[in-house]
Amino acid sequence: MATALTARVITKDDIGPDVVQVDFEMVDPPEIRYEAGQYIILHTAEQNGKVVKRSYSIASPPNSRGFSLCVKVVGVASQFVSDLKSGDQVKFSGPWGMGKFTFPEKTESEIVLVATGTGFSPINSILHSKLAAHPETKFLFLWGLKREQDIYLQNVLDEAAKKHPHFSYRIILSDASPSWPGKRGMLSKVFSDEIGAVDGKEYFLAGNGAMIVRVEGYLKGHGVPVEKIHKEIFFLPAEV
């Protein structure tokens, strides 16, 4: 069994409809090492005498003093996260997933980051730590959400795009209001139009498993090698 570590809540903010950001500082041990794209397993509420454990991608860039999570409130564990208050202590294990959704040490490829909903978390960590380190690499982020009000932390994306000309992003809404000036549709359906030619690119797909299965199928079907496709499936809906 993995050793449980302890962290303390510094702040919790509501950053979108049903999305909270929680910033933690390490307590025991006092420091943590992680790479952008890794996740932790958080010990949350107790149910039927058992602790409910759930995985959460780290949303902050590597920082030995602590980490941030961005969580969509959908059930018992995420409600536990949403109810956390400054000073509360939590147990967790990790970080996990080294080499799975983490950025390659060397890449000649253009980077295509694709997320639905809070799949933005590991991508946010990658953007914060890798944009400045790879000024010659082109980064594109495609983010699928439902409605305008579901967009959060867009200021972070705007600042990144301003500061790093090699980075651009597009938000695609599946249920936008008539006044939405941006892209519309299901991310998995508009994906091919958005990226154009698939070769010479490395892909990071995070969030809803249905989107990931479809986009991965498209990429593989067009000859993209598996080692160029990194996936972090948060959940798999009943029908994919």
Ligand X SMILES: Cc1cc2nc3c(=O)[nH]c(=O)nc-3n(C[C@H](O)[C@H](O)[C@H](O)COP(=O)(O)OP(=O)(O)OC[C@H]3O[C@@H](n4cnc5c(N)ncnc54)[C@H](O)[C@@H]3O)c2cc1C
* In 78-216, beta strands by DSSP E: 89-96, 110-116, 139-145, 167-173, 183-184, 201-208
Contacting residue, 38, 63, 102, 118, with ligand X by CB under 6 A: 118
* In 73-166, beta strands by DSSP E: 89-96, 110-116, 139-145
Query: What's at 12, amino acid-wise?
Result: K
Choices 72-80, 128-136, 174-182, 183-191; region in contact with ligand X by CB under 6 A: 72-80
**Considering the complex, what minimum distance in angstroms separates the CB of residue 212 from ligand X?**
11
**Considering the complex, what minimum distance in angstroms separates the CB of residue 123 from ligand X?**
10
Nearest to 19 by CA among 147, 142, 174: 147
Nearest to 24 by CA among 103, 78, 88, 105: 88
**Considering the complex, what minimum distance in angstroms separates the CB of residue 153 from ligand X?**
13
- The smaller minimum CB distance to ligand X, of residues 136 and 239, is found at 239
Query: What's at 1, amino acid-wise?
Result: M
Is 74 an interacting residue with respect to ligand X (CB under 6 A)? Answer: yes
Dmax over Cα atoms in the chain, in whole Å?
Answer: 53
Is 195 an interacting residue with respect to ligand X (CB under 6 A)? Answer: no
Structure tokens at 42: 């958080």
52 to 71, contacts with ligand X by CB under 6 A? 54-57, 69-71
Is 125 an interacting residue with respect to ligand X (CB under 6 A)? Answer: no
Residue that is written with structure tokens 């299965």 in the block: 213
Using CB under 6 A as the binding criterion, the count of chain residues that bind ligand X stands at 21
List residues binding ligand X (CB under 6 A).
39, 54-57, 69-72, 74-78, 117-118, 121, 232, 234-235, 237
